[in-house]
Amino acid sequence: MPSRRRSHARRKTLARSVAPQYPGHYLTVGDKDRASIRAVQERLNQVGCGPVPENGNFDSETVAAVQLFQARSVDSQGQSLKIDGVVGPLTWAALFGSASLPISISKPASPLVQRTLIVAATQVGVLEEPPGSNRGPQVDQYLVSVGLDPEDDSYPWCAAFVYWTFQQAAAHVGDENPCIQTAGVLDHWNKAGRSGITRLWADDVQEDFSLLKPGLIFVISTGGGKGHMGIVEDFRDDRLVTIEGNTNLPGDREGVGVFRRTSRKLSDINKGFISYDA
């Protein structure tokens, strides 16, 4: 019969073998989640990126150790980790394994947003004709829906695509379309705020992943009063699954169609999200 000391040691070893679960927010300097930070510090020491004190304080030593680990590691897709000293989902998974990321987002509540996702999915594969022209039979419909005449000029159309999908969904479910009618990304963001429509700032979502839901509109400011937007379909690890107009799969500057993308990291969204979910 094993001694109590051996049983206790075995239980302690087994406890250590169970990967801690991702806390659902980025860990960085000043974070108060001492238990998660302590788990990270312990793991950093185990993999030779220390020594760091295992005290639950995310200090400069911990930042340096995280950066060293990030420089040596890749994510689940074999891509290099961003060397920023912040423990997001990709760095956490590299430290503890992908099973430590039980992150999922719930379905949208309103029939309108549910239908919007269906409509958006039917548009995947629509291409400009010719590529790079901001034109085409279907692209022209997106632009017309926000009051633009494609014959007059060449217009970016990612925001028009978002409005058109909501317009089609609203007609199907018999509701008014609550989506802001505009072809301007930042104009949409600003008018949504003035109209009392729910906006989620990027920092708030990074602090609480439970705010993410399918059907949110992500908003990126690209500078000079310009931006890009699309519809969130899912969230996996630290990457959004999105349906976007006026984009392309490689992520080059020149968009040519409607694509489902799986490469946008949550940390890439620098403005925030707009919710039309009831």
52, 81, 100 - which closes a domain? 100
Domain count, the chain: 2
**What CATH code is carried by the domain that includes residue 234?**
3.90.1720.10
Q: Does 65 share its domain with 126?
A: no
Overall average pLDDT of the 76-96 stretch: 91
119 in any annotated domain = yes
CATH of the domain at 50: 1.10.101.10
Q: Do residues 96 and 157 share a domain?
A: no
pLDDT digits (tens, 9 = 90+) for 183-212: 999 999 999 999 999 999 999 998 888 899
If asked whether residues 11 and 131 sit together in one domain, one would say no
Nearest CA among 37, 54, 46 for reference residue 92 = 37
Summarised one tens digit per residue, pLDDT across range 104-119 is 677 888 999 999 999 9
- CA separation, residue 14 to residues 7, 11, 19, 262 (Å): 11, 5, 10, 36
Specify whether the CB–CB gap between 119 and 100 falls below 8 A. Answer: no
259 found inside a domain: yes
Domain membership of residue 193 as a residue range:
111-275
Any domain includes 146: yes
First to last CA, the chain: 61
What are the pLDDT digits (tens) for 37-51?
Answer: 999 999 999 999 999
For the residues 238-253, what does the mean pLDDT come to? 85
> For residue 213, is it within any domain?
yes
Q: Are 165 and 271 found together in one domain?
A: yes
Point out the domain boundary residue: 100, 123, 143: 100
Nearest by Cα to 74 from 98, 85, 86, 90: 90
Q: Are residues 202 and 159 in the same domain?
A: yes
Is the pLDDT at 16 greater than 70? The verdict is: no
Q: Is the residue at 106 inside a domain? A: no
Split at pLDDT 50, 70, 90, the class of 15 is very low
129 and 257: one domain?
yes
